[in-house]
Amino acid sequence: VAGKCEGCAAAPTHLVLYSAFAGANCIVHTHSTYATAWAQAGKALPCLGATHADCFCGSVPCTRAMSLREINGDYESETGNVIVETFASKRKDPTLMPAVLVACHGPFAWGADDEEAVYNAVVLEEIARMSHITMQINPQCAGAGRPLMERHFFRKHGKGAYYGQSEE
């Protein structure tokens, strides 16, 4: 953990996540418009289609609102604790769900390195935007459903993954 987040105001949040989430070697926190809007609304980002499922295995969770004690205490560390609590209570695997929305705050994303973490943050913003548009077109949209979501996610990220660009 030494050397990560030096000079970063959010370092205590990131340090909690580095300790709790194996494989999260870089964390990105933004206040991107659409993902932040979902976070401010206190809503998980539902898996509405294949684009979402290609990167995130299920709905991107939103934390509970932080308590007054958490806000007035060690706020940045408590933010990390609320994220970890959310993953534990929802039984989410941070390697399959490399992002979260912090209620009334904004999105966090992570990855094995800075490139992957930034990629996940950018994709999170784009699917938040697409979900917003989708829900405007059809507020009753049922979403992708588990079979389609799992097919899209695991063909790119599962054992024997076969879909996507080769690194050669």
- Alpha helices (H) along the chain: 11-20, 33-40, 50-53, 68-72, 75-89, 114-137, 146-157
Under 8 Å between Cβ of 123 and 36: no
Q: Residue 110: left (phi > 0), alpha (psi -120 to 50), or beta?
A: beta
Under 8 Å between Cβ of 143 and 46: yes
Residues catalogued as catalytic = 54, 163
In terms of Cβ atoms closer than 10 Å to its own Cβ (0-12, 13-18, 19+), residue 8 is middle
What residues are paired with 106 via a beta bridge?
A: 102
